[in-house]
Structure 1
């Protein structure tokens, strides 16, 4: 049975059990000539349990999570490397960015190192310069990544004007203490922990290459 159908069956079990239990209680009550006090108490308890099962079924439908919606990013698709970039570094950056853009929900990637943009790839904003803001400076100073999984209500995103203005999520990872890899997506809350660890591993590999 497909996973979706299994989940639907599990979600419907309280509803089915509640309706079936209530029906059986009614049949039992109608076919009993003399209702004893003990049976009346049992019937009352059964009615309460059936009502609770029906309530659980209703609540499950109300709290079912709505998957985050993607948006069409405002920007232009491009791939640009810094001039005079050594062939081995250019190959490394091309390989790393290709993996990230094709194997995650990422749509934009910028690699900034030693006050220079080494790579712009994917759907990007129209600005081609970076003036490091608070977030980017913190990432480079502390050497710790920043994960902004839902930028809808986050005012700090204005510093990333070189990315599409309607990006929904952002990951900023340090490259030693000299720069950062900035990745953006068009879907909020879309990066899994596995994605984050995998992208961080690629960033560490890039940082090692640039340090050599």
Structure 2
């Protein structure tokens, strides 16, 4: 379901006011039998003011960003952790995923690390298996995140079949050299630069904790 734009009325207001005022000036001019010099000057100023209002409204239509349309993702609310994880890792994953789901536009979240799915949270389908496709593999190899701003326009979207089928935007964030954090949003072009920085910082924190898990396990 598309999300309504709360700024629509605000952007249209200058156009409506300018058009209405201009129409009233025109009607007043028609019904004025004798036009004085002062009234002519007032009419000119009024026409200029109306034109500025209409122009402002037209500019706002182009400049002010519209909220992207959001959809209701297909899936169920889930919170699944890989069995057998140490308690401190479980707590870390629960904390990180909660922050991402409540402080960004993320609605679906999957953490793939060292060949395993450690975490699934948010709106997700029944499919649990994650097979890293070319996009995810490139993220891990290059150690650079990828933001697919409108997933439906990318031919490679088929590799994200472990996310809701109508996911609108995806961020693949590397978690060290062994994993990737895959985030899905319910609206295209909805992640901000601040969101991306926040996600990168949390991924770094997760990598630190997960590398400790490996060190403790090998010791």
- TM-score of the pair, normalised by structure 2: 0.74
3-state SS of paired residue (1:194): helix
Deviations 1:12-40 (A, max 9, x none): 346545654676688689576698xxx8x
Stretches of structure 1 that go unaligned for 5 or more consecutive residues are none
Deviates more, 1:91-100 or 1:79-88: 79-88
Deviations 1:9-66 (A, max 9, x none): 785346545654676688689576698xxx8xx8998798467447526635865765
1:201 is aligned to 2:170 = no
Contact persistence 2:73–2:166 (CA under 8 A): yes
Instruction: Measure the CA separation in 1 of the matches of 2:70 and 2:173.
Output: 23
Contact persistence 2:15–2:57 (CA under 8 A): no
3-state SS of paired residue (1:137): helix
Aligned twin of 1:129: 129
3-state SS of paired residue (1:152): helix
Contact persistence 1:68–1:188 (CA under 8 A): yes
- TM-score of the pair, normalised by structure 1: 0.76
Aligned in 2, Cα 1:52/1:178: closer, same or farther, shift over 3 Å? same
User: How many residue pairs end up in the alignment?
Assistant: 203
Aligned twin of 1:113: 113
RMSD, aligned α-carbons: 3.5
Stretches of structure 2 that go unaligned for 5 or more consecutive residues are 1-5, 213-219
Residue 158 of structure 1 and its aligned partner are, at CA, apart by 0.6
Contact persistence 1:25–1:46 (CA under 8 A): no
